[in-house]
Amino acid sequence: MTSLRFFAAFAVFVHHFNGVSPGGGVWHVPFLFPYSRIGVHGVTFFFVLSGFLLTWSHRPGIPKRVFHWRRVGRIYPAHLVAAGLALAVFYGLGGDRTDAPSLISSLLLVQTWLPNAVPTLPGNPVTWTLSVELLFYALFPLLIGRLRRTRTRTLGLWTLAGLAAMWAVNTAADRFLNQHGAEWVMRHPVVYLPQFLVGVTFALALRRGYRVPLRPAGAVGLLAVYTVVFTRASDWGGPFVVHQMECAVRPVIAVLSALTIAACAQNEAAGRSRFLTRRPLIVLGASSYAFYLVHQSVNQVIRLYLPAMDDSDAAVLLLLGAFLVSQAAAWLLWRWIEEPAQRWWSKRGPQPVRRTVTPAASAA
C-alpha cells in the first residue's frame, strides 16, 4: 500500500510538468499528451487510499482526540516547511501576489473553503488537496463507528449515491456557474467526500470477506483502457459525450482506484506481492507526501530560469531531471522533518488508554 502512493504522486507530477494543454506545462512532451492529463486525478487515488487505509487499520477504542492529534503531526510539519519554499519561489522569485487572508488560510489548510482566494490556489498551490483531506480527517473518527455497523450492501448504495451526486454537482456547476465558480465548487472539500467513502466501503467489504475478481494487473489494465477512452473522447464522441466524460471522470477514477487498491491488498494477503514490496519502492512511497509538497516549486524554478523552448519529446529528459531533483528534496524533507516531527509530536500528545488485562481475562 505504501508503494502505491508513489505512483499516484508521480502521475500528478507528470501532469503538472506536461501541462493541461499543448504547449503548456514546464516543457511540453508531445508523446505523453494528452494521456498525462489523467495524472491530475492522482489526487483521487490519494483520497480513496486515505479512506481505505484509515478504515483498514482502524481499531475501536482509539479516542478521537488521539486520532486528531496524530493527523496534525502527520500533516502540518512537512507542509509548513514546504510552504516556506513555495512562498519563496512563487511569491519571491516569481512575483505572484496574494493577500493576508488567503495566505493564512493556505497555511492553516482551509483555503478551499474561500471562494475568492488570491490567487485561486494560494500559498503552496498543491496543498488544496490537504484542505480536502483535513475535512475527512475531522469526520472519520466521528463516523467510522456508524459505518462499521452498517451492512455492506447499504454502504455500497450510499457510495454509489455519493458518486452520482458528485457527477451531478459537476454537471450543474458547469451549466450554471462561470469557470471560476465551477472550479471552486469542484475543489470544495464536501464534494470530494464520496471518494473517501469509496475507500472506506471497499476496506470494510474486504474485512468482511468480500473479494474483487481482479489481480493488480487487471485493475491497472482497466485504468489504462479508461485513460485512452477518456483522453480520446473527442475522436469518437461529440461535444455532449466529451462533456459527460469530463463530469464523470472523478467518480469513475475513484472506483478504478478502489479496485486497484483492493486487488493489491488481496495480492499481498495471499503472499503474491513482489514488485510493490521492494524496499526502494517503499521508500519512494513513504516520501511521496514530501515529494507531492515540493514538486511544483521545483517545476516553477525551471519555468522561471529555463528559456522557453519548442515542444519536444526530448524534454522527457528534463522531466526525469526535475523528478530526481524533486525526489532528492522530498527525501530530505521526509528524513529530517516529516518523520522526526511526527515522532516528536506523537510522544507529546494524548495517548490511548491501555486496558489492564487480568490473567483470567487473558486466558479467556
Cβ(282)–Cβ(7) under 8 Å? no
Rounded distance between C-alpha atoms, residue 186 and residue 166, angstroms: 9
Give the model's pLDDT for residue 327.
Answer: 98
DSSP labels, 116-146: T-SSSS-SSGGGHHHHHHHHHHHHHHHHHHH
16, amino acid identity: H
Give the model's pLDDT for residue 71.
Answer: 97
**Regions in the chain scoring below 70 on pLDDT:** 23, 353-364
Cβ(222)–Cβ(252) under 8 Å? no
Backbone angles phi, psi at 278, to 5 degrees: -75, 140
Cβ(328)–Cβ(72) under 8 Å? no
Give the model's pLDDT for residue 353.
Answer: 62
**C-alpha R_g of the chain:** 21
Closest C-alpha among 132, 190, 147, 129 to residue 58: 147
Give the model's pLDDT for residue 276.
Answer: 92
Backbone angles phi, psi at 7, to 5 degrees: -65, -35
Give the model's pLDDT for residue 25.
Answer: 85
Give the model's pLDDT for residue 20.
Answer: 83
**Cβ neighbours of residue 8 under 8 Å, at least 6 residues apart?**
42, 43, 45, 46, 49, 288
Give the model's pLDDT for residue 309.
Answer: 76
Rounded distance between C-alpha atoms, residue 122 and residue 159, angstroms: 31
Give the model's pLDDT for residue 128.
Answer: 98
Provide the residue ranges of all domains of the chain, joining segments of one domain with +.
2-363
Element (DSSP H or E) covering residue 286: helix 279-286
pLDDT tens for each residue of 178-194: 999 999 999 999 999 99
Element (DSSP H or E) covering residue 158: helix 152-176
Rounded distance between C-alpha atoms, residue 11 and residue 37, angstroms: 9
